[in-house]
A and B are shown apart, each in its own frame.
Chain A
Amino acid sequence: MRDSELAISIRALTKFYNNLQALDKIAFEVKRGDFFAFLGPNGAGKTTTINVLTGLSNYQSGEVKVFGYDVTAEYLHSRRLIGLCAQESNFDPFLSIYQLLVYQAEYFGIPPWEAKRRANELLERFGLEEKRNAKHRALSGGMKKRLLLCRALIHDPEILILDEPTSGCDLELKFLIWDYLLQLNKEGKTIFLTTHYMEEAEKLCKTIGIINNGKIVRIGDKKQILQDKSLQDVFLEITGIE
């Protein structure tokens, strides 16, 4: 890994879907080891930003780096470092959940014996071992969320990008995920989280970025942004929602 103090660095990133401008010259940085909450209303451009970071979307202009690696020119390096927990589940329908974790590890160059060990460990960690031979269709919504997390973690990424990881989760699972994320962050992993739950962001993160209509409207340290207000009030104020 390149010796970069910045886990993410985005400069003047512009992204269009045909004529629709989803990102308008956005720029921000996330430090290595940070717990970053990326907030914004529906359609603000959060998932689009994540897709650019992970290489799932092309973009028209700007410079996007992950740990110093350009996500276009040096994609083989940047992709190795990222674990993505996507907003919607998208699993191979022909594979059992155990198989799909093993394959995912191997796509990242992890040898089969180690891939199997990690798959078993994660299935156990997230209480899915009973379902190991099931196809993902046979999982409940919360179980799918857990599986998404397992898949994101299978190659031990340096930065974990989570697109609404707790939406639709019950309280117990929410707490399990929160604890796990805090522990990972303590171990030095960078976490990039989008969520619509203000209390979640307020509880977990160190830094907050807010995007609205494809523009970054506020970014900074949590304390500095909140001062004495609640995150919900700050959010409503910044995004102009009454």
Chain B
Amino acid sequence: MIHQVTNPIGVMALAKREIHRFFSVANQTIFPPLVSSALFMYIFGIAVGSRVNFSAMGLTYLQFIIPGLMAMHLISSAYENTSSSLFIGRWHNHIQEILLAPLSYIEMVLGLLAGGVARGMLVCLGIWLVSLFFTPGSIIHPLALIYFMLMITVIFSCAGMMGALWAEDFGMLSMWNTYVIIPLALLGGVFHPISLLLPGLQIISHFNPLYYMVSGIRYSMTNVTDTPVATCAIVSLGMAAAVFTATVYLFKIGYKLRT
């Protein structure tokens, strides 16, 4: 019965509430990544980037980091949205409003997920719009972009929920983002092509799943990639399926949700 979707109104309501929640604090959820990305584009892309000899892949350095910034904020926005929403729900115990409702566990996860997916995509596209002030650019593969945005936001929205269940206080909640997710994203090539790394580090980078996600977004935006896009697509899909299943399972057993 965990795989039933029988209550579309309920799922929509939950999704609506999650989106409402981050919109109502847009100055904390939407604008900060746009501002910081604009600064990165100006400082690294223009001020520094124009002075470095970056001929790799036929892009300017600015054109190279724009998809990187989009990917990084897709990841962290999705994670922050679901992790804070679910953790605060546990903290104030209003998570019970959902646990009492006739929502299957898959529906609960889908509803909460919607907030992370919407926020991640909004921020990602917002960064692209901001980038148009600095350099003209188009989206070369829009369908691929939608695919990777969806996969990445699903993965990190689910990761956010797992983080929210695991955490016992607000410090533990942000730990994953600070010490694991953002470092892996940065090492995955937000600001550098991994071909610039020493050969040993290049090999290690191929074990970093976030490398494939950053590459997928970069391919979608610029048609440039240093790893086959099919690999990126498969790794992302596999991870999305795995974390989604794991999250639904945690809801089913009621891990830290039911006493």
Contact = CB atoms under 8 A, between A and B. Distances in A.
B230 interface: no
B132 interface: no
B12 A57 contact: no
A84 B100 contact: yes
Interface in B80-105: 88-89, 92-94, 96-104
Given A55-B258, A92-B97, A94-B24, A77 B102 contact: yes
A58 B258 contact: yes
A165 B7 CA distance: 29
Interface in B1-30: 1, 4, 6-7, 9-10, 12-14, 16-17, 21, 24
A80 B10 CA distance: 12
Contacts of A95: 17
A56 B100 contact: yes
B96 A109 contact: no
B177 to A, nearest CB: 21
B96 to A, nearest CB: 6
B100 A90 contact: no
B254 interface: yes
Interface residues of B, number: 31
A58 B240 CA distance: 28
A17 B259 contact: yes
A111 B9 contact: yes
B9 A103 contact: no
A171 to B, nearest CB: 29
A104 B97 contact: yes
A79 B254 contact: no
Interface residues of A, number: 35
B100 A79 contact: yes
A77 to B, nearest CB: 7
Contacts of B104: 76
A107 B10 contact: yes
Interface in A55-85: 55-58, 73-77, 79-80, 82, 84
Given A92-B92, A106-B10, A79 B101 contact: yes
Interface string A98-139: 001001101111111000000000000000000000000000
A95 B24 CA distance: 10
A86 interface: yes
B78 to A, nearest CB: 19
A17 B258 CA distance: 11
A112 B102 CA distance: 16
Q: Among B9, B92, B98, B258, which residue has the most Cβ atoms of chain A within 10 A?
A: B9
Nearest to A78: B102
A104 B99 CA distance: 11
Interface of B: 1, 4, 6-7, 9-10, 12-14, 16-17, 21, 24, 88-89, 92-94, 96-104, 253-254, 258-259
Ranked nearest first, the 6 interchain pairs of A and B with the lowest CB-CB distance are A106-B13, A107-B101, A90-B93, A80-B102, A79-B102, A92-B94
Given A55-B99, A106-B10, 17 more contacts: A51-B258, A57-B259, A58-B258, A73-B1, A76-B103, A88-B93, A92-B17, A92-B89, A104-B97, A106-B13, A107-B13, A107-B97, A107-B98, A107-B102, A108-B10, A108-B101, A110-B9
11 contacts: A56-B96, A58-B258, A74-B1, A76-B6, A76-B102, A91-B92, A92-B92, A95-B17, A103-B13, A107-B101, A111-B9
